[in-house]
Amino acid sequence: MDKFTTFTGVAVPLKRSNVDTDQIIPAVYLKRITKTGFEDALFASWRNDPEFVLNQEVYKHGEVLIAGPDFGTGSSREHAVWALRDYGFKAVLSAKFADIFRGNAGKQGLVTGEISEEDTEKLWAAIEANPGVSITIDLVDKTATLGDIKVSFAIDEYTRWRLLEGLDDIGLTLRDEASITAFEAKRPAWMPKTLPVRTVGER
Instruction: Select the residue interacting with another protein from 49, 99, 128, 165 (CB under 8 A).
Output: 99
Nearer to another protein, 23 or 135 (CB): 23
**116 lies in the binding site for another protein (CB under 8 A):** no
Cβ-proximal residues to 165 (8 Å cutoff; 6+ apart), any chain: 3
Site string for another protein, 169-188 (x = CB under 8 A): xx-xxx-xx-xx--xx--xx
Please name which of 91, 85, 70, 16 lies closest in space to residue 46, comparing C-alpha atoms: 16
Alpha helices in 54-168 (DSSP H): 79-87, 99-107, 117-129, 157-165
Nearer to another protein, 5 or 173 (CB): 173
Distance CA(91)–CA(113), nearest Å, equals 7
Rounded to a whole number of angstroms, the CA Rg of the chain reads: 20
Q: Give least dist CB 159 to another protein, A.
A: 9
Contacts with another protein in 23-82 (CB under 8 A)? Answer: 23, 26-28, 30-35, 45, 68-70, 73-79, 81
Cβ-proximal residues to 13 (8 Å cutoff; 6+ apart), any chain: 53, 66, 123, 124, 127, 128
**140 lies in the binding site for another protein (CB under 8 A):** no
Interface positions with another protein (CB under 8 A): 16-18, 20, 22-23, 26-28, 30-35, 45, 68-70, 73-79, 81, 96, 98-100, 103-104, 107-108, 117, 156-158, 161, 169-170, 172-174, 176-177, 179-180, 183-184, 187-195, 197-203
